[in-house]
Structure 1
Amino acid sequence: MTSSVEDKAMRNWLTAQELAGLPGLPGTVPGVRKMATRENWTSQKRSGSKAIEYAYSDLPAETQAAVLSQAIADVSEDAHLPSPVVHALPAVVETKPATSTAKLNDRQKAVMAARLAFVREIERMSAVVSQKTAIATLVKHAQDGHLSPYLQQRVQLANDRKTAERGLSERTLKRWLAAWRASGQDEASLAPLRQRACLQVPEWVPSFLRCYQRPTKPSVAASYAEFAASWTKPLPSIHAVQRFLKKLSPDALNMGRMGTQELKSLQAFNRRSTQNILPGEVYTADGHKFDAEVVNPLTGKPYRPEITTVLDVATRRVVGISVGEAESAFGVLDALRDAVQKCMFAIFYVDNGSGFDNDTVREVVDRLGGTMKHSLPYNSQARGLSERGHQTIWVRAAKKLTSYIGADMDKHAGTKVHRIGRRELKQHGKSRVLPEFGVFMAGVEHEVAHYNSTPHRGLGKIRDQVTGAFRHMSPDEAWYAAIEQGWEPLVAPSELVESLMRPQTIRTTRRGEISWAGNNYFMADLTALHGQEIRVAYDVRDASKVWAYTLDGELIGTAILDGNSSDYMPRTMLEAAREKRQQGQFSRAVNKLETLTGQRVEMIAPTVSPSANLPVEALEAAREYAVAIEQKQPKFDIPRDDVARYRLWIQLDQRKGAGEELTADEAKWHERYPNHPDFVAMKRVFQQQAG
C-alpha cells in the first residue's frame, strides 16, 4: 500500500510516457522525446529500468503546474493511510547550464554579460602574454581597483554572490573560461544556474486541503484553525501553509472550492473566430428568464416571461424571438419560424435544454434542411454570443421596468413594488408597476430594433458617414454589407413557414367560439365541435387571429377576433327607442312639475341650437374662450405625503362646512378619502397630538 503512494507522490524525474499528453507537451511519447532533444532537457536512466527520465525543472511552466496539481490530488486520495510518503525535493533545485539565452531571465543575462566581459579581456591579453599572466594581472588590478571603469563596475555582478566579498579570483576566472571554451564559445554557458523554490508536497497538505477545498470557500485562517485542531504531528505555521498555497496554480488551488463549470473561468480557452462565416450559416439560440414581472395575458397574474432569442453568428443580428411562460419546444419553434422568414440557416447551434433537445424541434430543423448541433453540458462559454446577448438586450431592458427583480435590485424597493403590484391587480385588475403584456411586447420589439442598429464590438469597423470616425458596424449594417458584397439571403417558402408550429395551448370550444387571452375568436367550422377540446396556435405579435387544430394536429382553420360580433340591435330600432324614451322622460317631468306647483307647465325643447345661427368666427372665438376659462381654473392635485393628504381633507371639510362649493374633483376626493386606510391612521395621530 505504501509503494502505491510513493508512486503517486511528487517526483523530480519523469519519463516520456508519464509526460505525454500533459498541458504544454505533445500527446505522444515520441513527440515528448523529440521536444526533450530539441530543448536539451537534462536526462538520465531510471534506476532498474531502461527508460529515460527527464528533470522536472526543465519542463515548461504549464507542465510543472499540472504535475504538481496531480501529485496533490493523488496524495489526497491516499490521505487515509497512516503514514503517507511524499518524495522530498531538495530545498533548492538547480537546472543545467542554459543552452539558449531565450530562456534566461534578466538577472541571468546581466551576470552572463559581465562574465563574458572578463573572458573576452583574458582572450585579448593572451595574444600578448600568457593566459596565466593575463589572469593574474586581472586579479591584481581588481584588488587594487586599477581596472577600467567598464570592468570595475562588473566585478560584483559577475560574481553573483550574496556575501560581502565579491572580488575576482584566479580559480573563478579559469572556471568561466573553461565553461566558455567547452561550450564552443557559447555565451549562454556563462549564465548562472537558475534556482527554484522547493516543490515538495509536505505530508500535512492532504489534511489541510480537506479543510480548505470546500464549496463554502472558507478562508485560509479558518481552514488552518480546523486543521490544527485535528493534526497530531508537528504543526506547520500558517505562514508555511500560505507559502505552499502560493506555489499552486489557480485551478489546483480552487479544486473543490469551485465546481467544474466555475473552474473553467480560471483555465485557458479557445477563442472562436467568426470572420470566415457568412450570414445565415450558423444560428445560435437560447432561452432567458426575463428579470422583471409582467401581467400574464392568460391568467392576469404576474409572471416572468421566458424569451427565446435566435442570433445570427456572423453578424450578431437578432433574427427571431419568442415569448412564453417557460422554455419549451413551442417557444423554440416560434422563434425559429420568425428567423427563417428572414433567412434560412445551415447549422442550428443550441444547448442541451429540454426546449431544444427534443424530437419536435429536431424534426422541424430536418424539414428546413439544417443541422442541429448541441454544445457540451455545463459549457456555457461555448455559447458566449447568446449569453452576452442576454446581458446586452434583456437584462438592460428589464432594468428599465419598475417590476425589475434581478439580483442587484434593492431588497426593500423590490419588496415594496411586489406588494403594490399585487394589491393593485387584486383591487383594480391592472397595475401601475406591472406592465400589460401588449406594452411588454412593444418594448421587446423596440429593444431588438435598438440592439440590431447599435455598433457591436465583435464586428468589423467602418467609417461613420456622420462623424467621419472609425467605429464598429451594427448587426444590421453587417447584414446589409454582406448583401452588397453578393450574399443573398435564402428565405423559407411561405407555405413551409405557415406549416411550422406556433406556440399552442388547449382550449374548449363554445358554439363556434374560442376564448384566449381575454379575447373571443370565432370560426363557423368550430360549431360542430361544440364542447370539445382543441389545440389553439397563436402569434405573440398578432392578436387578430388564432389557428385551430385538432388534438391530433390537423389544421381546422383560422379563427378571427370577434368574428361573430355585430350591433346588438339595428341602428334604426335604437334611434326609435331613444326618441320614445326621451319623450316619456319629458312627459313624466311635466307631470311631476304640475303636481308640485298645481299649475299647467309646458316644456318646449329648442329645435335649433342657440349657436346654430352664429358665424364661424364667433363659434371659434367662443371655443377659445371656453378653453381659456378651463385652463384658468386651478388644477386639483392630491399630495403624495400622508400628512399633507389628511390636512388637505381637513381644509376641504372646513370649506364644505362653511357652505363653500367644492369643485367636482374636490368633492369626489373628499367623499372617498375617509374610506382609505391611511385616513384612519392619520386621524388617530392628529387626535393624539391634539390631546
Structure 2
Amino acid sequence: MHNWYSARELAGLPGMPGTERAIQLRAKRERWEGQGRLGSKAVEYSFGTLPHETQVHLIAASVSATAPEPLPVIELIGPKCDSVLASRLNQDQRSVLTARLAFVREIERMSQTISQQRAIDSLVALAKAEQLSPYLTDRVQRANDRKTSERTLSERTLKRWLSDYRKHGETGLAPTRRQKDMSLPAWSASFLTCYQRPTKPSVEAAYAEFSLKHPAERPSIHVVRRFLNKLSAEARERGRRTPQELKALQPFKRRLTKNLHPCDVFTADGHKFDAEVLNPRTGKPYRPETTTVLDVATRKAVGISIGEAESTIGVLDALRDAVQHGMFAMFYVDNGSGFANDTVREVVDRLGGEMTHALPYNSQARGLIERSHQTIWVNAAKKLTSYIGADMDKHAGTKVHRISRKQLRETGSTRLIPTFAEFMAGVEYEIETYNNSPHRGLAKFRDPLTGKLRHMSPNEAWDAARTEGWEPMVAPAEVLNDLMRPQVIRPTRRGEVTWSGETYFLDALRDFHGQEIRLAYDVRNASRVWVRTLEGDLVGEAILDGNASDYMPKAMLEKAYEKRESGQMKRALDKLETLTGKRVEMIAPCTGPSAQLSAEQLAEAQRFAQLAAPKAPTFEIPADPISKYHLWNQLNDRVKSGALLPPEEAQWHDRWPKHSDYTAMQRMFAHAAQARA
C-alpha cells in the first residue's frame, strides 16, 4: 500500500470517476489533501481523504497481491528475541513461527498507511471471503497450528500474535510443544539393577525378577519399555557391556596422519591366525601367531613374523624385517607380553627410537593395525579349507576337522590343511597384494592408466613420499645384525655358556670361568651366539655343542656290540643243551646254496636275503623350503659343472623351480643379499 495516489492510479476504481479530469475536479471540490509528485507535474492525493469504498478496494488489492518469500527465521530476529531459545526450536515449531510472522509483517506494513485495527479487520474480512494472496492463504492453516483445515483468522488471534511478538520477539510466536518426561521413576533404579547385567537378560526376564523383588511398586511392562526407549543407547547398555565394549557407543577422537612422513611411526600387533596350518616341527595342526609391523603414514606392511605364540622372539623378528625399509622414530604398540619387556625396549633404545604403549583396554586407539588384521590375515584365512573363524559354518568346520585328523592318523598328511611352506607362500602373496591395493585411508590421485580418481596404495604412497624428497634412513646390514641381536647376561663355566636349554662353547671363555658375560643371540639362527664382556667388548662366537663329541669311539662300540652278541648266543646254546639234554652246535653261515633246501625254500631264503641286504642310498627331498632351496642350488652347481644327475634328482631339479616355494625362497634370499650389500 501507498500513502499517496495520483489521479491516473485512482481512475475507474470503486467510488471514483472514470477519468483523470473528473477526479481532479472532485478533489478540488471536496478539498482533498494533495501534494505534487516528485519529478513530475502530477498531483497525488492522500489515502485518508479518499472515499471509504475506494480505501477498502486499495487495501484488498494490496493484501491480495503476491507477497515475496520471507527471509529465514534465524535472520528475522525481533526486538526482544532470545536467539539462544530460537536455536532450540524444532522444525515443526519453526514452520508455525514463520507462518505467524508473515501475518505480523503484513499488519505492520498495512499500519504504515491505515490504523492497526483497520488492518486487522481487513485481514479478517479478506480471510473469510477467501481473497487473501496465495502466499498468505497457504499459511493460514499452518499459523493456526491445528489439524483441522476449517480454522481461519480472527481479530483476537491476530492481536495475540502481535502482542507475543512485541514482548518476546520471534520465539513468542513459536507454539509450545510437550517435551518428553525425562525424570526417573521411583522404580527405575530397582529395575535397572535387574536389567543392566553382563549376562544381558531380556526385558521380560529382568521385569519378571523385578516383579518378584518389588511387587508393591511394579509398573506394567509397557511402561518399562517406554522408559527404556527414552534412554540413550549408552545409558541403556551401561552395565550390560564392559567399559571397553561400551566405547563402541561413545564419541571418539579421529587421529589424522596427513602430517606424518613414512617411518615416523611404526605400529605393531600380534594376531592369532584363524585357520590351521601344519606345524613344520611336529607335523601337527596348529594356529600360527602372526606379528605385523605397519607404517602409519603410508599404511604399508613393512615387517611380519610367524610364530607359535606372541613372544619377544616374534616381535624382534618382525621389527628386524621392518627396519630394513627405514629407521622409525616411534614404535606404537600395546601392553602385550611380547612388547612390554626389557629385551624389546633395549633394542628400540639402541636403534634410537622411542616405544610408546597404548592405554590398557583401548584397542580403538590402534584402529589402523587392528583393521589390517581383517584386511590381511582374516581374508587370507577365509581362503583356506581349514578356516575356523567365528563365522565358519559349524557343520562344515566339524567335517573338515574330522576328515583331516583321520587322514593325518592314517597317512601322516592331508590336503585339507596347508603345509607351512604353502602357508608362507600365501603370506607373501597377501602382503604384496595388500601393499599394492588402494587404501581408503590414503590420499586420492588420478590413476595414470584409467584416468579416474582413486586412493593410493601403500606402495604408491611410499613412492610418492620419496618423489617429494623424503628418503628413508637405513643403517648398514652389519649394524642392523648387531643391533637386532638381543642380549642377556649369563654366567660361564669352563668355556661353556647355556641359553634357552642349549649349551654353547668358546675356548676363549676359559679366562672368564665363574664370571658373567653378555650373550647376544639371533632369533633366526640358534647355531651360535656372540659373547661379549660386561663392558661390551667382543670375545667371540660360541658354537652350539662346540666341545661335544661321541661318548665312545664308534669302533669300540662296534666291538662291544659283537662281543655282546656272541655272549648272548653262547648263553642261548647252553640253555638249549640244558633243556634238551643234547649237544647243540652252531653252524657257520655259508654263501653257497644248501643241498638240503628245496627250490621253493631256496627262493624264499633268497627273497629274505634281498630284503635284509643294505639298500643303496635313495634321493630324499627335505621337508622345509629352505633346505629344498639349498639342495636345488647344490644340484644346479653340479649340472653347471657338467655332471650327470640320477633320474630322480634330475626330475626334481627340473620341476621344483615351477613351484611357488622356489619363487618365495628365491625372493627371500635375494632380498637378504641386497640388505647385506
Tell me if 1:382 matches 2:372: no
Matched with 1:548 is 529
The correspondence for 2:388, drawn from 405, 411, 419, is: 405
Partners in 1 of 2:397 and 2:363 — Cα distance? 29
Matched with 1:438 is 421
Aligned-pair identity in percent equals: 60
Partners in 2 of 1:163 and 1:238 — Cα distance? 35
Structure 1 residue 320 displacement after superposition = 0.9
Matched with 1:633 is none
Matched with 2:436 is 453
Matched with 1:653 is none
Tell me if 1:269 matches 2:252: yes
Note closer, same or farther for the CA distance 1:292–1:159 as it changes in structure 2 (3 Å cut): same
Note closer, same or farther for the CA distance 1:119–1:355 as it changes in structure 2 (3 Å cut): same
Give the count of matched residue pairs.
465
Partners in 1 of 2:540 and 2:260 — Cα distance? 38
Partners in 1 of 2:323 and 2:235 — Cα distance? 46
Residue 103 of structure 2: SS of its match in structure 1?
A: helix
Matched with 1:471 is 454
The correspondence for 2:229, drawn from 246, 261, 265, is: 246
Tell me if 1:121 matches 2:106: yes
Amino acid at match of 2:136: L
Amino acid at match of 1:261: Q
Structure 1 residue 524 displacement after superposition = 9.9
Residue 449 of structure 1: SS of its match in structure 2?
A: helix
Tell me if 1:335 matches 2:318: yes
Cα deviation per residue 1:404-450 (whole Å; 9 max; x = unaligned)?
A: 22112222332333334344444444333333323322222222122
Partners in 2 of 1:536 and 1:362 — Cα distance? 15
The correspondence for 1:210, drawn from 193, 197, 200, is: 193
Alignment of 1:231-380 (within 5 A): 231-380=214-363
Residue 257 of structure 1: SS of its match in structure 2?
A: coil
Note closer, same or farther for the CA distance 1:423–1:525 as it changes in structure 2 (3 Å cut): farther
Tell me if 1:108 matches 2:98: no
Cα deviation per residue 1:239-271 (whole Å; 9 max; x = unaligned)?
A: 222222121111001011111111111111111
Alignment of 1:176-187 (within 5 A): 176-182=161-167, 186-187=169-170
Residue 286 of structure 1: SS of its match in structure 2?
A: strand
Q: TM-score, normalised by structure 1?
A: 0.59
Cα deviation per residue 1:51-70 (whole Å; 9 max; x = unaligned)?
A: xxxxxxxxxxxxxxxxxxxx
Amino acid at match of 1:449: E
Tell me if 1:157 matches 2:142: yes
Structure 1 residue 340 displacement after superposition = 1.0
Residue 196 of structure 1: SS of its match in structure 2?
A: coil
* Contact 1:280–1:344, Cα closer than 8 Å, also in 2: yes
Partners in 2 of 1:490 and 1:240 — Cα distance? 66
Alignment of 1:585-624 (within 5 A): none
* Contact 1:521–1:546, Cα closer than 8 Å, also in 2: no
Structure 1 residue 535 displacement after superposition = 9.0
Structure 1 residue 306 displacement after superposition = 1.0
Structure 1 residue 358 displacement after superposition = 1.2
* Contact 1:320–1:336, Cα closer than 8 Å, also in 2: yes
Note closer, same or farther for the CA distance 1:97–1:240 as it changes in structure 2 (3 Å cut): farther
Matched with 2:119 is 134
Cα deviation per residue 1:117-151 (whole Å; 9 max; x = unaligned)?
A: 22122223323332223223333443454544433
The correspondence for 1:193, drawn from 163, 173, 176, is: 176
Amino acid at match of 2:478: E
Cα deviation per residue 1:446-471 (whole Å; 9 max; x = unaligned)?
A: 22122112221211223333333222
Partners in 2 of 1:539 and 1:433 — Cα distance? 31
User: Higher Cα Rg: structure 1 or 2?
Assistant: 2
Residue 197 of structure 1: SS of its match in structure 2?
A: coil
Partners in 1 of 2:300 and 2:351 — Cα distance? 20
Amino acid at match of 1:336: L
Structure 1 residue 342 displacement after superposition = 1.4
Structure 1 residue 209 displacement after superposition = 1.1
Structure 1 residue 101 displacement after superposition = 5.0
Note closer, same or farther for the CA distance 1:416–1:548 as it changes in structure 2 (3 Å cut): farther
* Contact 2:504–2:542, Cα closer than 8 Å, also in 1: no
Partners in 1 of 2:452 and 2:473 — Cα distance? 34
Amino acid at match of 2:164: A
Residue 179 of structure 2: SS of its match in structure 1?
A: strand
Partners in 1 of 2:294 and 2:224 — Cα distance? 49
Partners in 1 of 2:475 and 2:417 — Cα distance? 37
Residue 309 of structure 1: SS of its match in structure 2?
A: strand
After superposing the two structures, state which structure 1 stretch, 448-457 or 382-391, moved more: 448-457
* Contact 1:308–1:323, Cα closer than 8 Å, also in 2: yes
Alignment of 1:666-677 (within 5 A): none
* Contact 1:125–1:134, Cα closer than 8 Å, also in 2: yes
Amino acid at match of 1:360: T
Note closer, same or farther for the CA distance 1:443–1:527 as it changes in structure 2 (3 Å cut): farther
* Contact 1:535–1:551, Cα closer than 8 Å, also in 2: yes
* Structure 2: runs of 5+ lacking an equivalent: 1-80, 491-495, 511-517, 550-590, 601-677
Q: TM-score, normalised by structure 2?
A: 0.60
* Contact 2:211–2:218, Cα closer than 8 Å, also in 1: yes
* Contact 2:270–2:292, Cα closer than 8 Å, also in 1: yes
Partners in 2 of 1:339 and 1:207 — Cα distance? 55
Alignment of 1:66-81 (within 5 A): none
